[in-house]
Amino acid sequence: MSLLVTGGAGFIGSNFVLDWIATTGEAVVNLDALTYAGNLRNLASLQGDARHVFVQGDICDRALIDRLLAEHRPRAIVHFAAESHVDRSIHGPGAFVRTNVEGTFALLEAARAHWSGLGGAEKDAFRFHHVSTDEVYGSLAPEAPAFTETHAYEPNSPYSASKAASDHLVRAWHHTYGLPVVTTNCSNNYGPYHFPEKLIPLMIVNALAGKPLPVYGDGRQIRDWLYVTDHCSAIRAVLERGRLGETYNIGGWNEQANIDIVRLVCALLDELQPDPAGPYQRLITYVTDRPGHDRRYAIDARKIERELGWRPAETFETGIRKTVEWYLAHTDWVREVQSGSYRDWVAQNYAARTPGSA
């Protein structure tokens, strides 16, 4: 028995692969293109482990997917592979349409052909688990109820629009062809192995380097934050017990404003690794907001709790402390991921933004 995991060298995918093998002992065939955010170093602990088969490849490569399905006959596909950074989608939307839409289409067609050829219990047990985002629902007003699974899709960035399109494809392949799918829409993840372009790792890495901590606009954008291992446990629950064709929202019940997160990261660093130059908050720099920046996301995760008995184990306070401690203990990992392409990206994204005040 095995899973085919796409994007399993990225942040959430690598955490899932590590968690899955540690928790279940079941083998994983890990397909990842190893673009800038894919990092085999995340999976170093599995080197030489026969339960982890890594394949470098593109989810748009239908022939490759067909071969992997025929060779390994996985009982499920867990589809993480995606371009996922909003700012990158603004600068270059084409890659997001290709990976998130065309890639999902290729996987669905390969999965449909494979599933159609199965028989009996093997066919009944097969699942296609599509991992998506809360950003497909758009932006919430400050007092609006949190997103439920029936909330209308209102994506506002090239990234969220491409993920919304992939969600619709997955739904259509279930209703038209009967493909046994489940979809999860998660809130913002954080934790170990997070590529340092996203808010929390960027703040940690920049603070330790004495660099400015760039905060968009007034910093009052609100997100629900989900510790990545909680996300992994939720995916296991949905894959094992979720109803076919259903969507489950996965959230951490942790709404936080960006500026409050930055200040909390600074306070933890002040405690755990003080800077002789002074408190890290001195590095906070307000910069021009990004275009179309959604003001608030919030996930209502009552459905997955009600149907599958899942709730996050971590509070934001426990999860963010674990995250800061992990980055302090893994400075070698940070140095390795700060490649030339990463530095070029940071320069491209932030160099043109003008400092301001909130």
| Catalytic residue numbers, as ranges | 134-135, 159
Sheet holding 2-6, edge to edge: 52-56, 27-32, 2-6, 76-79, 127-133, 181-186, 247-250
- Nearest residue to 10 (alpha-carbon basis) of 53, 40, 49: 40
- Nearest residue to 299 (alpha-carbon basis) of 74, 135, 176, 63: 135
Contact 178, 126 (CB under 8 A): no
Q: Which two tokens stand for residue 274?
A: 């003080």
Cα angle 262, 321, 280 (rounded to 5 degrees) comes to 40
Contact 198, 283 (CB under 8 A): no
- Nearest residue to 82 (alpha-carbon basis) of 126, 44, 33, 116: 33
Which residue type occupies 15?
N
Within 10 angstroms of residue 8's Cβ, the number of other Cβ atoms is: 30
